[in-house]
Structure 1
Amino acid sequence: MRTSRLLSTFLVVFITGGTAAAETLERSSNAAAQLVQLMQEQKLDAYAAEDPQVPGRFVAAMLVPDVQLLVVAAETTAPHYLRAQLAQRNYREVYVTLHSSAVPQTKLFFQDMGCNGLNDQNGGIDIMYERASTQTVFDGDWKSQKLSKSAYEEKLQTAERKYAEALSALTRAVHGSSDTSGAGVG
């Protein structure tokens, strides 16, 4: 009896954990699709915004339709310059500047191949760079990165959450700009 209860508890936790992981991955997938759609509707190849959750932190995206969505988020050494560029709707300049003037320990950069959210299934490959130099390739091959399966999955879940947050901040900003000023300038 005790063994069956333990097994039942384990299965519930295991299944729930798997469901949570799938839901998390679905979030970036949905968030990426929504941002890509908004950018295409407004004919934007780049978009940027200040992160409403962290003053002095900026998020920017560069879209190559049907190929990749590049997203960078970081605090910067040039916040006044970036705010001025945002006011002029020079989103590409904000994207480029974030790569060169980011505070390295705050920088996150995502290469979303396929513009479909982070995915390591069915031959998908997505890449995250943390702190400007630590690279994690999400392709399902944790061994080549000298990670355990659980460490890889944990990194994927953390990346997924951070990526979905960055995409959501950009999506809210695109919605806000379309409500007040129509189509933007990439």
Structure 2
Amino acid sequence: SFKEDSRLDMRMDLTQKFNADILINSYSEKDLAEIFEKYGEERFSKRIARLIVTERKKKAITTTKQLADLIIKTLPRTKKRHTWRIHPATRVFQAIRIEVNQELKALEKGLNQAIRVLENKGRICVISYHSLEDRIVKNIFKEVEREGKEQKNYGLKIITKKPIRPSSEEVRDNPKARSAKLRVAEKIMFTTI
């Protein structure tokens, strides 16, 4: 978290050697910008990457506060006011976390495994919290639905054509739910495996 000054790590698996510190202090400016844009949908990705590379030549970036402060420095003057709805570092931290943990690949793998072991008429419910995750869930559901029709083995019937979003009451009671999207699909067996 960038709200406290802690070590730049972001690993889910602490036995893994690769962490956020290594990423920030070794990736090229181009690679950093791509990660921030692709996984964080960050508008100022190139500007942020440029400043990170410049600053790490002077001193390694090893804490969350150091990185968050650098990100704030890259903001246009009009955006530097502390009236943000979400902290300016949120998207960059999300992007770093996704890259360090290979979260999107893990989501794809986990979804495909879950669908494979699901019983006939079993339902899979997935809550995603940002558009990258939601896109993966939606695409895998559609792909398995289409493949099932073509291969006549098993497929999915998509129950929620559009994702279910939290009500305004739910968001008021649980602000972290504001970006949640729920998608549901049911497995349909065409033959026994």
- More strand per residue: 1 or 2? 1
TM-score of the two chains, using structure 1 as the length reference: 0.28
The higher-RCO structure (CA 8 Å, 6+ apart) is 1
Q: Determine which structure has more spread, i.e. the larger CA radius of gyration.
A: 2
